[in-house]
Homo-oligomer: A and B are copies of this chain.
């Protein structure tokens, strides 16, 4: 009796097929498909037989078969440069969360700045119905190629690309506010760390900062100090910068650079914020816990991912309206690293 209800010992492989279920229930595969999808009425008795057969065989429909027939993957992709910093991890998390909610699997792809990025993205494009592209992982042409295959893409933390939706956190005004705050502290000589050539975010932050400085009659630095967006990048670039002509204030494109810079400064005996003000961007966990607390700009990382996922879902639902370009608000978080404040100095 037992042997009858258990899966055949021989079928060691990827599971039973709809044919085996049909045979066991003594119906056609069409009927099995019907009870599976509830797409048409099936007699109660028949349904029961089919369900019993499915259970006995531990039948799970092949995603490949289903997708091929339905002509879509029920999966989306997301490509980012790296997951090492807290920033991208948060965006991806926000993305995954709503993608899962609306029933789509998510494929990730980290380009790591590899040369093969284009091929990797194109390969990804063959596995998904839509995808989101973070920052400058690939050129606009690659995105155009993907769009050309009729798979929608939404870009995040990146300038607009023809034909794609986009979400960004507000940058210029936030940078202006930050610059104004620093100027009000009396800082007169500035430096900006981060690479505007590589990051649209950094570019706009640099732009906003310079505008603020100009408005406040403060000298604008010649150019940004380009450096990788991590602690080491910040530390090394700061070591050089502070060794030659140290500014009063160091505005960094993200918290990691800032934290790295602070490390370098402390090693050189430079006190923060007395000798040097330092600010970051993102408000990661370490920014809260460092001493002095890091003045920074908080941006809604989770929401960036969530918005992208929702928009993609709309597109895949048939929305063919003009691309939308969302800008999410940020928040200046003033702590101690930007200089002494009058009241509660914390």
Contact = CB atoms under 8 A, between A and B. Distances in A.
B83 A149 contact: no
Interface residues of A, number: 55
B127 A110 contact: no
A310 interface: no
A17 to B, nearest CB: 12
B60 A122 contact: yes
A93 B14 CA distance: 28
B97 A110 contact: yes
Interface string A122-155: 1111110000000000000000000011100000
A77 to B, nearest CB: 9
A71 interface: yes
A42 interface: no
A56 B273 CA distance: 61
Given A289-B259, A290-B290, A68 B64 contact: yes
A126 B60 contact: yes
A65 interface: yes
Contacts of A109: 96, 100, 105-106
Nearest to A125: B60
Given A62-B126, A105-B127, A150-B14, A93 B97 contact: no
Interface stretch (A24-32, A84-92, A190-198): A84-92
Interface of A: 12-15, 58, 60-65, 67-68, 71, 73, 75, 82-84, 86, 89-90, 92-93, 96-97, 100, 105-110, 112, 120, 122-127, 148-150, 231, 256, 259, 262, 284-286, 288-291
